[in-house]
Amino acid sequence: MHDDPRLSELVAQVRSSRKYGAISEQLVRRIGAAELNKRATLKDAVKATKNALHQVAGLYFASERPAYEVWLRQIVRAGDDATRRAVLRSIMTHHASTRERLPILDAFYARVLAGLGPLRSVLDLACGLNPLSLPWMPLAPGATYHAVDIYEDLARFLQAALAALGVTGSAEARDIIADCPTDEADVALLLKALPCLEQLDRASGLAILDTINARYVIVSFPTRTVGGRNIGMREHYAARFEAMIAHRPWRVERIEFTGELVYRIAK
């Protein structure tokens, strides 16, 4: 494939910034190509690409430089289960979306994954720091975990964290709109991700749900803004999602939590 020099320049500029440097090149390229078609200048396209990346990913991180090495050492050093859980909770406060779930974490997976039979494999898509909630998930002994988000440094951290937690698994940086995993899994998590993904591509939500090769898919939506406001999001997301999947032959159960609306789909 021949390369558009303006696109290569845009990708290089976006990836040279601290905040966007670790984002998968595949995603930067795809957004950048669309912005180059829409904008008058390269400078405007770079700015618009960074803006889109902020909206779908950057805004969730508490810092432009997550302290992955420090966090990993904390996980490795945590001795007993209670200390380890406390450490994991404190690390999870650094991703806005994962943090919002902490007050309901004890009940969340116990309810959402209840009664699904032994869960031996999990696919966590657009995962943020959620894989660190693994100890709260009622999985079968020896279950495998595969985590996907768009940051290469996050993927390296999660890969090492899974090993430190004694879990067989992997983590990778991948744009799930362009390249959704098709690996078989007992359960796939797509938590609070559809609104972000659909900002980039309105049709991507249903396409991803169709592609996921899991017995159960857990889809959720935030019901408050990142700033904590309640502006009718529950009703809005529920109406749109229920209409979107109305013609799929799936069994769907709706589960409500404070701050999060969950759909449990049996495919």
Ligand X SMILES: C[S@@+](CC[C@H](N)C(=O)[O-])C[C@H]1O[C@@H](n2cnc3c(N)ncnc32)[C@H](O)[C@@H]1O
Interface contacts to ligand X, rule CB under 6 A: 27, 56-57, 60, 97-98, 126-128, 130, 148-150, 175-177, 191-193, 196-197
Q: Report the residue closest to ligand X, judged by CB.
A: 128
At closest approach, how far in Å is the CB of 102 from ligand X?
Answer: 10
CA distances from 257 to 125, 153, 191, 254 (A): 20, 31, 13, 10
Element (H, E) at 53: helix 42-56
At closest approach, how far in Å is the CB of 221 from ligand X?
Answer: 10
At closest approach, how far in Å is the CB of 152 from ligand X?
Answer: 12
When the beta carbons of 141 and 210 are compared against ligand X, the nearer one is 210
When the beta carbons of 138 and 195 are compared against ligand X, the nearer one is 195
When the beta carbons of 5 and 63 are compared against ligand X, the nearer one is 63
At closest approach, how far in Å is the CB of 205 from ligand X?
Answer: 11
Q: Where are the beta strands (DSSP E) in the chain?
A: 121-125, 144-149, 168-173, 184-191, 213-222, 251-257, 260-266
Burial-class residue 206 by CB neighbours within 10 Å (0-12, 13-18, 19+).
middle
When the beta carbons of 150 and 188 are compared against ligand X, the nearer one is 150
At closest approach, how far in Å is the CB of 127 from ligand X?
Answer: 5
At closest approach, how far in Å is the CB of 179 from ligand X?
Answer: 9
* Sign of the CA dihedral running 67, 16, 95, 149: negative
DSSP secondary-structure letter at 119?
Answer: -
When the beta carbons of 23 and 87 are compared against ligand X, the nearer one is 23
What gap in Å lies between CA 106 and CA 112, rounded to an integer? 11
The answer to whether 261 touches 223, Cβ cutoff 8 Å, is yes
The answer to whether 138 touches 119, Cβ cutoff 8 Å, is yes
CA distances from 160 to 143, 164, 172, 205, 209 (A): 17, 6, 12, 29, 28
When the beta carbons of 2 and 65 are compared against ligand X, the nearer one is 65
